[in-house]
Structure 1
């Protein structure tokens, strides 16, 4: 009888432990305080996030933020999908392309104004690109980064990358990086193509690859070429472009043909253990004060309109309804459907 009671007690103890392990309580931080686990980009992004978002959020709410630096948005989503929606973190920093995938695959939790009141303040153009499973917290645009010595005046067209005078300093980004996707689309458009007719983009890529300086995958791989001033002109995102324009002999511009937006996004995996804390962090990030602070710190456009910025900042970033209306947003379904094939074709083109 004693042995039987002991076995029952042991079973109950194991059950209690298991229940505790799968608890969805937000109080899993140190000393029982609320916590939210965030997976995002590394390098300067992590530093800015911890200083501009995490610390003041904890001070305002008492919720601890534990940040882990991962890879690209595509890599963050791959981890979510591989774990069947339970990757061990509560909030992922991604792009709108991953929000589309998460909606399609049912791997991301719905995010609506009911859970995140400040979502109601997003412009409709941005709301359309959240697919009901995330939020957009900032807007970057693809810019043309150029060497100030090579270009005393800002270049006015994406065509300069193919100019014999400058093509030996071109960088051709791999479509594994979203920059590579937008570069392909832009190249296609120069010859009358586009997202539904990408062939001209590959033809131009193959032509440029005969002379280009490098074919980077990550944005950081461009930095040594700027330090040595061997790169002439190449596509970049305005956030990092602004940072390196202050530390290198480079500046950036948007050519006359226009450009694409890259929408910084936040998604909550369906298996996240601390959804309530994640919702609160998203709502905090979309508040006026934080949107302004983050935009200025990361050199990006805010997700909400009506904020005031200096003329110099507004000239370089998406800060007004008019600028948002003008910028192009690539169709996520088309990009996601074709990105693997485009990457394979890109590899052939640059070989």
Structure 2
């Protein structure tokens, strides 16, 4: 009997030790703070930890561009294992050799994503959400919902709009939309877009990079309309603010958000497990419902009210305007100079 007790005790100790070893595995995930952090912890990180036993350390430091700069400066060893960025950085990181290529062998759920959207992120990015640049407005200040991007250049909104800085990708997206509206192109001949944006800038109160600061202007009523990512816009609607947002008639350009693994990440296997978990059907359904965004996974079950406003089908994806992100990355520095010269210089 004593031997049995001793064997049981040793078995319990072995199980405890094994559990401790599993829980000792850690994963550092770099992403955003604010509402994003609260939502990703509840809908993704906590369920992932419970299922796998892997401890996730959440690093809410830096914007996508700042995170990429750190990855590049450290040659793929930034100190985190998974990073949330955009398709633009995914493409650049692959080209620079500082992001790991992902495949369906270690991340099976990659094969469940829309091939059209996945292709925009390249082989180093896993698309975990799709937002689009919307036109956010105050319902209590504007008589009728704006139908066109040209509303930003109207006299009604003079002194009542705020614009993103060029460090926020919405800036060049606006230039591209106004370029198309005025006879220019998406990546070639953007001069008509810059010229139109100079008129918009004259009606703005200034420029801000941070989404949190941008939304503070519309919260307090200083601003009546502005471009804003539709997921964040929906969170403001749900909060009870007198705001709403539209996808203007000319169309819009998406923000394709990706999960990436730096090439020198310490915990690549755990990182692949995390990405596969995030792309899973149940996780994608939870993420879309909670963060009010679209998805590159077309087989998930969602309520009609979410489908009405988010990107959740191939038809939705096909309606988006998709510029060549590789060409964009090559020309951004030149466009940044033109933005300062033609847009910022003309602001009041």
Q: TM-score, normalised by structure 2?
A: 0.89
> What does residue 333 of structure 1 align with?
326
> What does residue 100 of structure 1 align with?
91
Equivalent in 180, 189, 196 of residue 189 of structure 1: 180
Structure 1 stretches (4+) deviating beyond 3 angstroms?
29-32
CA RMSD of aligned residues (A): 1.7
In 2, Cα distance between equivalents of 1:168 and 1:350: 15
In 2, Cα distance between equivalents of 1:327 and 1:182: 12
Query: Is the CA contact 2:132–2:252 (under 8 Å) kept in the aligned structure 1?
Result: yes
> What does residue 162 of structure 1 align with?
153
Comparing 261-270 with 67-76, greater Cα deviation is found at 67-76
Query: Deviation of residue 85 (structure 1)?
Result: 0.8
> What does residue 350 of structure 1 align with?
344
Equivalent in 318, 322, 327 of residue 315 of structure 2: 322
| Structure 1 residues 30 and 167: CA distance shift in structure 2, 3 A | farther
In 2, Cα distance between equivalents of 1:123 and 1:341: 32
Does residue 1:266 correspond to 2:269, yes or no?
no
In 1, Cα distance between equivalents of 2:333 and 2:66: 14
Q: TM-score, normalised by structure 1?
A: 0.89
Query: Is the CA contact 2:23–2:54 (under 8 Å) kept in the aligned structure 1?
Result: no
Deviations 1:126-166 (A, max 9, x none): 22123111200011011110110233432111111111111
> What does residue range 26-105 of structure 1 map to in structure 2 within 5 Å?
33-105=24-96
Query: Is the CA contact 1:85–1:269 (under 8 Å) kept in the aligned structure 2?
Result: yes
In 2, Cα distance between equivalents of 1:61 and 1:255: 43
Query: Is the CA contact 2:254–2:322 (under 8 Å) kept in the aligned structure 1?
Result: yes
> What does residue 254 of structure 1 align with?
247
In 2, Cα distance between equivalents of 1:32 and 1:164: 60
Q: SS at the partner of 2:204?
A: coil
Does residue 1:219 correspond to 2:219, yes or no?
no
In 1, Cα distance between equivalents of 2:182 and 2:321: 17
In 2, Cα distance between equivalents of 1:127 and 1:350: 34
Deviations 1:192-238 (A, max 9, x none): 11221111121112122222122111111112211221212211101
Deviations 1:280-331 (A, max 9, x none): 0000011111000001111001220022322221121101111011112221
| Structure 1 residues 281 and 31: CA distance shift in structure 2, 3 A | closer
Q: Could you list the runs of 5+ residues in structure 2 that have no partner in the other structure?
A: 1-17
Query: Deviation of residue 31 (structure 1)?
Result: 8.3
In 1, Cα distance between equivalents of 2:172 and 2:58: 28
| Structure 1 residues 30 and 213: CA distance shift in structure 2, 3 A | farther
Query: Is the CA contact 2:84–2:259 (under 8 Å) kept in the aligned structure 1?
Result: yes
Equivalent in 114, 118, 121 of residue 112 of structure 2: 121
In 2, Cα distance between equivalents of 1:130 and 1:124: 10
Query: Is the CA contact 1:172–1:205 (under 8 Å) kept in the aligned structure 2?
Result: no
Q: SS at the partner of 2:256?
A: strand
